[in-house]
Amino acid sequence: MARYDDLPYRTCVGITLINPEGLVFIGRRVGGPEHVDQTHVWQMPQGGVDSGEDTWAAAKRELYEETNAQSVEKLGEVSEWLTYDIPRTVAGRAWKGRFRGQKQKWYAMRFTGKDSEINVASPAGHKAEFIDWRWEPMKNLPELIVPFKRPVYERVVQEFTKFAGK
């Protein structure tokens, strides 16, 4: 197995889905080796970019696969890639030990559909990533994510707060 410091970052997208009231979708993760308590189990949708896939297309696909939501409009994106390292204590169990963390391209989207469109229990025929979901004020997001992802969430909140106004 490669040394942790030599492992690459997994290429991903992250989605900040904002409803018309300015609240953000967060899902309660099914689980994972990085979850150490019941407070920090919430996150925004995110997922891998397929080889040759455009990141905007990947963001819409991942959102659909994780939430079933398709009624969206692009609001903006973080201009650069944001990265985080997964803790060394769980690196061998996450992604089969192939990555040290993720590099993510973040997009803000306005949700234009009805809440009934969102289905995390059986989204788009894929395995469920979330067991529950809710709309949350954007300012609360960094306190709900696992601590090692907090700097990314703080940056996303800084970039996208302007889209949370009604």
Taking the complete model, does pTM exceed 0.75, yes or no? yes
Exposure of 122 in the CB half-sphere (CA atoms within 13 A):
1
Tell me, what CATH number does 144's domain have? Answer: 3.90.79.10
Query: Region 71-97: what's the mean pLDDT?
Result: 86
Q: Categorize the per-residue pLDDT at 166 as very low, low, confident or very high, splitting at 50, 70 and 90.
A: low
Our count of domains for the chain comes to: 1
Q: What per-residue confidence (pLDDT) applies to 94?
A: 66
Q: What per-residue confidence (pLDDT) applies to 86?
A: 87
Please give the Cα distance from 54 to 33 (Å, whole number).
Answer: 29
Range of the domain at 8: 4-163
